[in-house]
Structure 1
Amino acid sequence: MLSDAGQPSASEATPTASAGQTAVRGLQKASAKVAPAPVCAPDDVNPFARYAEEPVKFAVEVLGLTMWQAMELIFDGILKFKKVAVRSGHKVSKSTTAAVIALWRCLCRENSRTVLSAPSSRQVKAIIWKELRKRHADARLPGDMFIDPGTGFRYRDSEVFGFSTDEAEKMAGISGEDLMFIIDEASGVAEAIFEAIEGNMAGGASILLISNPTQTSGTFYEAFTTKRHLWHTIHISSETTPNVIEGRTIIPGLATRAWVEEKKADWGEDSPLFQVRVRGNFPDQAENSVIGLGLIEAARARYNNAPAVLSGRFDLGVDVARYGDDTTVLQPLFEKRPGIPKTFRKQDNVEVAGHVMDYVEELRLAHNYPVSAGPVRVKVDDLGNGGGVTDHLKHSDRAKALGIEVCPVLVSNSATAAGYSKLRDQLWFALRDWFKEGGQLHPDSHLEGELVAPLYTFDTQGRAKVESKDDMKKRLGRSPDRADALALAIYTPPPSGEAFESW
């Protein structure tokens, strides 16, 4: 599936512990002891060109680097996606990976330009550039290498240079047919820098953000939340390094089991410090967030680990588009496990009702839930255009034959439970409770961004009030239609005349 940006839909890759328990991928014996032999070729031939699409082979064969799975995930990501964001704990080879990618691009990709940056000059010069120069020297590589990252490294028609992100003016106007920005500790970078970079992205540049997830605002945070559909995201916990998994030093410099246990004892497993610096999780969101990122991550994990076979009773939440750029969403739900939603744009009420019936029929056949087994409750946001959809379904002979039980929901009505202003507020908080109680979440980056977006306040009577859909749309750049459809799907309408109750 393609995202709105025309790239493959973003997904989050995570190194798994099981891979490290069996073997350390890419481990080369004595690679740290013996420098690779220099590569020789005629002056008019680039001897590294054969690695142009194989950064892992370049790292192992040319640099003599001991690889591990997380590094391979990042290398694979930058080959396939223009925008890659990596959140991680400490001691997972972030700076080494950035330096290796820069060397690979300069040596192997003709006429490329690579910009290395970080929030401070010290980080650029004393960490990333120092690592790049060391790898270059150890492997006895050709090219013009300078001590100052601003002067850079050049080979044939390619170059790498670096400067801190507090020098915003240097970001503007950088161009090249194969241009890449690599930003270390991106969570602490000012938004003005990303605005300058965005202007360069129009020419086809790519960007890699690597950071401990220290801030819950800004471009890096949005890459994993509200704008996740635009990014390929990777999560690396310090607990997944080969050293931690094996309980001994496999790759010097990576996090060890002793270090992880020490930090767990010092900070506590649930502390923000442990979550950020070891597990690579963002700290708890703002106190007035309805649904925290941690709930989303846990729900995704449950979905991935649960059996994929769905059968039997299901409900369908339907959020009907009100405007031309909004989306109509049909979200099926099999108890705690959502099915794959269907989305439509610019459809009239009759067409939407037809899509509902088509999908119910499709799901009944696919998941062994015939009409004789029971009804399918179709819960429609009845405000505005949704009212026309519910009317059509109520009077449709086909809907009756399919066993559709139409359940109109007026989210603008007063809440049916104490503590909330409107039914919409109640539904959003019930969705949060549903995640806490074991709800699962299918891989849908648009939906994830919408779920973590809403904030809430309290009215003069002390009732929780979720921010308006219009305000959410201003921040998201779109209406939270998928999240609204899921909120409808998890609710069960009570018998006629009674209040809704959460499932």
Structure 2
Amino acid sequence: WDFLESPGTDEVLYGGAKYGGKSWFLCVWSYLRACAFAKKHKIPKSSHPLKVGFLGRKVAKMFRETTLDTWFKTIPADGYVAKGNPTEIIIDDRVKILTGGFDNRELVNKFNSAEFAFFAVDQAEELTRDEMALLRLATFGRLVVNEKAIPGKGLLTANPRHCWLKDEFILNPIKQRKFVSALPTDNPYCTQKYIDNLIDSLKHRPKLLAAYRYGNWDVLEDAEQVIMDSWLESALNRHGEYWPFVKEYIAIDCARFGDDETVILLMNNTDIKEKIVMPYCRTTEISGRAAALSHQNNDCELVVESIGSDLGAGVVDELTELGHSVLVYTPQGKSSEPDKYYNCRAEAWSKTAKVLCSGVIDEDSNCFVALTKRGEGDNYGLDDTMRGQLCTPHYKWVRGKIVIEPKEDIKDKLGRSPDHADAYVIAVWAWPFISMPNKSGSVRHRKRQKSPMSM
């Protein structure tokens, strides 16, 4: 607070551990800053209150669900009026704060002509340097009140990440920018249950745990990458060992849009026995292909992704009518551990990461994780497409829960939908629900040899 009140400070980065009370402080400071500004400069009441600040985050939807929700819960309701979309917060009919997300292009375009006295950005690590530059240009020295230029002030909150924030506020800070570390112990509402949940959820990622628990910014660039390539490499090298048993089943990720692909995987535990890729097509083509594959492999069970009223739902219905045992994976559905994961998708990706990291899919039986590298002309094993897609998504920690970045963002990175990776994640997620095989005895996992026909 002292830094923010100091004339020698332009911006403060309040960053560090999760649940350090950063969003709460951001909202309280923004409100009090606007009130103090109106009083200091004797801003009169008006039907068009003076726009003095901006409160926002990268994605508008996340801003509404987190930061703005914190505002409504924290700031007394009789102290302001909130209206419009995006929301404008009006205080005493004298000043107002513009709010929203940087993904709203219409809102961002307003920065070109905006004149702010302050800004407050939550989860600033999500922004690019260019996006931050637009806001700075609209704030420092732009607003003039009573023929006096307002110097401007900025507050940023962030979680540890290798990005421009670390360079500007920690490694090479300029005099006018200050960094203040946030810790869970700074938040009087942080419970031991939250800390225990954080430790349990990220125990397989010690560097990320250090960042989120202790605010350690000395983390690797890949700290928030869900699945590491080194884990896949270890699985590829884990051949020639004996599985205690093999669950054989089929996982299907159905195409949602015209440029997506339907990916069908025949699984032997964690290894890919066969992969079929189909363009966007009718449900009957998918269910027919999957049913035939199941029949060829002892009428094995199937798991299908469906969001309820999509291509997947039709495939589920058709396979069920054909008499097949079908498990439905609903990515947006409720997690089996709602205190840890935002939804079923977050749980599936996180548990796949844990399985690959540990190298074991079932600790009781010591059933290990193994993969076969796909060769040229093969239709089985891990190929470069799936490998790249598996290592692309990142995750975040939002209000004590793991959230996987939106599929649209992953598509932007890859230039295509991560359908191959989704199919594998569905398969690993489904493994505990697949029936145990009737056969007993251990089965050796080894790299398959090419048939003479493929040579």
| TM-score in terms of structure 1 length | 0.37
Higher strand share: 2
Comparing both chains, which one has the higher relative contact order based on Cα–Cα distances under 8 Å and sequence gaps of 6 or more? 2
| TM-score in terms of structure 2 length | 0.40
